[in-house]
Amino acid sequence: MTLSRSLRQCVFTAALIASAFLIPALPAAAEPVTVSLMHINDLDRIEESKGKGGIARVMALVQQERARADTVIFTHGGDTISPSLLSSFDKGAHMIDLYNEAELDLLVMGNHEFDFGPEVAKQRVSEARFTVLASNSRDSDGEPLDGTAATWMAEAGPYKIGFFGLTTPETADISSPGTVTFEPLLQSARDYSQQLRDEGADLVVAVAHTGVEEDLMLMRADSGIDILMSGHDHLLVTYYDGQRAFIESGSQGEQLVVVDVTLNTVESRGQQRFVWEPAFRIVDSRSVEPDAAMAAKVQVYLDRLSEELDVPIGTALTALDSRRASVRGGETAIGNLITDAMRQGVEADVALTNGGGIRGDKTYDAGITLTRRDIQTELPFGNKTVKLELTGAQLMQALEHGFSKVEEGAGRFPSVSGMTVTWSRSAPAGQRVRSVTVGGKLLDPEASYTLATNDFVARGGDGYAVFTEAVPLIDGISARLMATMVMDFVAATGEVSPKVEGRVTAVD
């Protein structure tokens, strides 16, 4: 049977119509959506300093951003429950309370979150009303830390943003995580990035507490990360190479980095494709007035700190002398107390601190009860105890420098622990050290020694440039406060009896 032309046309048209229902239609392109990612990191100082930073100003910035944007995610790159003087009393509980008030969305565990051990870290996590990420951290049973999350998903319009958290494996060496272990960064990033994409994430964000070299490795490798929001180095960084973005927000809330991410769907060769683009803003905390309600809450904690400082910690059975001329001109019992605490605190061979950092300028009678305020008065600068590896020759150079301006009362004069030094007042500067022993043996110029010192002189402060050439084992970022270390040292025994014992002896 032959069909007429008109009938064949009708059949063809009908077939086209029917087939149209069998071909999946392309999804309609969605309207662009903008998400604002607000990020801070390394904030342990709740009060502002010189008109910037602190929780009350951060809170004002957060409220400002939430008022201007539809979707805002507030993240923290870790290191917050320690180190601070107040954390030595409540082990960082005040920080969790304040972040609960600020409605933080995400915190990644930093190395300082483990300073008081894994059980305290878990307790702080349990108090948080926000999500704590610890994706590459494993407890002694191989399971994630109690209360933490490996991933977190947010929605913005039709899009999904997946988050996971990374903690530097160096935490095992620079903090006190106990039996908690940290899985390799790159493999963890790949695994969680893929997991999030399998769960429908369009954009993958890592909130990390990792060193800058680790950050760059994650950026350069095929890690699966789209945006890396980091901490640990106290850097102020915004970076985008056309594929991946990387930010870090300095420290102490002095700046807040905002990434305004535009999420969109575009048509390409008949297919819909997800695209994103970042725009960076660095918001200075000096640009806002502190949030009044948060400032009042901060003040309650500062008042509590004042009360805590008047708490007795132990008895000094011997007299102590921190007068300026004493700590800048010879061995003192208080200098020995401080350096002993530093050396023990980081398990170093020797310790050295500069007399200019001991500031009480007073005497204490034998038998006096020492308070936390006394130690804070003697060590007011917020210096931290770092650990360096250096040669005997470098240590000798440092000691020569320490004695080089004693006649001028310079603050570089050294208090020491773990070594004895004999030096000459009459010899020319740079040639004054006569002998040095460490652990009862003469200093070996070729041997390596570990040194506890404060972060100021480790950076070359007071002219100790030689320390900048040493190998850092515990750097200023990872270190604990000197004052806290001395307080703990005194409290551990209840009674201390430091004395001048010939550690530093002038021969003429």
Residue 29 has a pLDDT of: 54
CA separation for the pair 249, 380 (Å, rounded): 26
Residue 30 has a pLDDT of: 65
Tell me how crowded residue 239 is: count the other CB atoms within 10 A of its CB.
15
Residue 12 has a pLDDT of: 32
* CATH of the structural domain 33-304, one choice from 3.40.50.720, 3.10.310.40, 3.90.79.10, 3.60.21.10: 3.60.21.10
Q: Which of 229, 366, 261, 284 is nearest to 60 (CA)?
A: 284
Let me know the angle formed at the C-alpha of 413 by 408 and 416, rounded to the nearest 5 degrees: 165
Residue 22 has a pLDDT of: 36
Q: Which of 167, 229, 195, 185 is nearest to 39 (CA)?
A: 229
* CATH of the structural domain 310-506, one choice from 3.30.70.420, 3.40.50.280, 3.90.780.10, 3.40.50.360: 3.90.780.10
Q: Give per-residue pLDDT as tens, 251-286.
A: 999 999 999 999 999 987 888 999 999 999 999 999
Query: Structure pTM?
Result: 0.79
Residue 217 has a pLDDT of: 97
How would DSSP label each residue in 87-152?
HHHHTTHHHHHHHHHHT--EEE--GGGGTT-HHHHHHHHHH-SSEEE-TTEE-TTSSPPTT-BSEE
Residue 5 has a pLDDT of: 37
Residue 176 has a pLDDT of: 86
Q: Give per-residue pLDDT as tens, 465-488.
A: 999 999 999 999 899 999 999 999
Q: Which of 487, 272, 480, 496 is nearest to 372 (CA)?
A: 487
Residue 8 has a pLDDT of: 37
ω into 83 cis (within 30 of 0): yes
CA separation for the pair 416, 348 (Å, rounded): 12
Residue 123 has a pLDDT of: 98
Residues 6+ apart with CB under 8 A from 54: 45, 46, 47, 48, 252, 253, 285, 290, 298
Q: Which two tokens stand for residue 218?
A: 């994650």
Residue 25 has a pLDDT of: 38
Q: What are the residue ranges spanned by the domains of the chain? A: 33-304, 310-506
Low-confidence ranges of the chain (pLDDT < 70): 1-30
Let me know the angle formed at the C-alpha of 49 by 283 and 99, rounded to the nearest 5 degrees: 65
**Is-contact 161 206, C-beta < 8 A?**
no
Rounded alpha-carbon distances, angstroms, from residue 501 to 41, 357, 402, 419, 506 = 44, 21, 19, 11, 13
